[in-house]
């Protein structure tokens, strides 16, 4: 518990995490306001359509999570941490847990904030959470944010440099997975198993697309796993990445 308290103080004693969390919240909710407020027909506003800003908020979360570890390497405070805590595994796990919890809470606030602003802007739209899929589309953002933060920390531990870690995370999450589909013959099959695409399957599920306008929600993931297995897959990917990162950190100089 002491390690968790220390990491919590380290995380929230500087301005950048606060600004990053605020930015993620504003981007996610703001995008929901933009997409729902500009729609003339409230029948086209659905619970999934309120979560259009999820991926933009996720990009901010990836950057913030990576910064929590790369800045320690940049300013050499990681050496002090490892000297104070002989077990590097414990120190890195404590940081990961604190950041994952913080981003998870932020994801929950952002998702329900997006739903709330949509209800304000489109009071006639049917935005009640009537099914498991509706709850997963909103509350599921919290779990995806938290797990994605673990992935970002793992990348930060492996690369150690802020620019490299941020560039890799953003390029991969926002571009690479989509570009993989352009590979002839095998691109679509590979894309079905890429981690962020699979994570989105947990949020989007398997909606009935027959007759549904584009405005009624983001396109569903083409991952073949069921929603809950998709979340388990994404979590397993994060655990593997973090394990590799911790093993690497233990073998090299701080």
Domain ranges of the chain: 2-251
**Half-sphere exposure of 118 toward its Cβ, with a 13 Å CA cutoff?**
33
Stretch (H or E) spanning 79: helix 77-84
> Do residues 65 and 149 lie in contact, with contact meaning Cβ atoms separated by under 8 Å?
yes
With 70 as the cut, is the pLDDT of residue 216 above it?
no
Please determine, for residue 211, whether its predicted confidence score (pLDDT) is greater than 50: no
3-state secondary structure of 138: helix
Check: CB of residue 149 under 8 Å from CB of residue 24. no
Per-residue pLDDT band for 160 (boundaries 50, 70, 90) equals very high
Cβ–Cβ < 8 Å for 3, 98: no
Q: Across all residues in the chain, what is the average pLDDT?
A: 87
Sign of the torsion formed by the C-alpha atoms of 35, 36, 42 and 44: positive
* Most confident stretch, 122-126, 145-149, 208-212, 215-219: 145-149
Rounded to whole angstroms, the maximal C-alpha distance in the chain is: 61
- Provide mean pLDDT across the span 108-119: 93
Contact 129, 98 (CB under 8 A): no
- Measured CA to CA, the distance from residue 8 to residue 17 in angstroms comes to 11
pTM to 2 decimal places: 0.90
Q: What percent of the chain has pLDDT over 70?
A: 92
111: number of Cβ within 10 Å: 27
């Amino acid at each position: 518990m002491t390690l968790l308290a220390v990491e919590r103080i380290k995380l929230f004693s500087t301005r950048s995490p606060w600004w990053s969390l605020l930015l993620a919240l504003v981007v996610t909710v703001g995008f929901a306001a933009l997409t729902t407020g500009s729609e003339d027909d409230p029948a086209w506003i659905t619970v999934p359509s309120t979560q259009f800003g999820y991926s933009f908020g996720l990009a901010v979360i990836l950057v913030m999570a990576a910064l929590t570890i790369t800045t320690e390497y940049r300013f050499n405070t990681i050496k002090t941490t490892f000297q104070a805590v002989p077990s590097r595994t414990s120190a890195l796990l404590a940081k990961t847990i604190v950041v994952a919890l913080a981003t998870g809470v932020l994801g929950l606030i952002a998702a329900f904030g997006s739903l709330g602003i949509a209800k304000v802007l489109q009071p006639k739209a049917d935005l009640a959470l009537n099914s498991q899929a509706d709850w997963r589309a909103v509350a599921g953002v919290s779990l995806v944010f938290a797990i994605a933060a673990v992935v970002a920390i793992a990348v930060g531990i492996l690369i150690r440099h802020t620019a490299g870690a941020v560039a890799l995370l953003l390029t991969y999450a926002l571009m690479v997975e989509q570009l993989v589909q352009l590979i002839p013959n095998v691109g679509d099959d590979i894309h079905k198993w890429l981690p962020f695409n699979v994570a989105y399957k947990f949020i989007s599920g398997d909606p009935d697309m027959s007759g549904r306008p584009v405005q009624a929600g983001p396109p569903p993931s083409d991952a073949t796993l069921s929603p809950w297995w998709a979340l388990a897959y994404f979590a397993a990917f994060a655990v593997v990445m973090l394990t590799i990162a911790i093993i690497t950190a233990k073998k090299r100089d701080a």
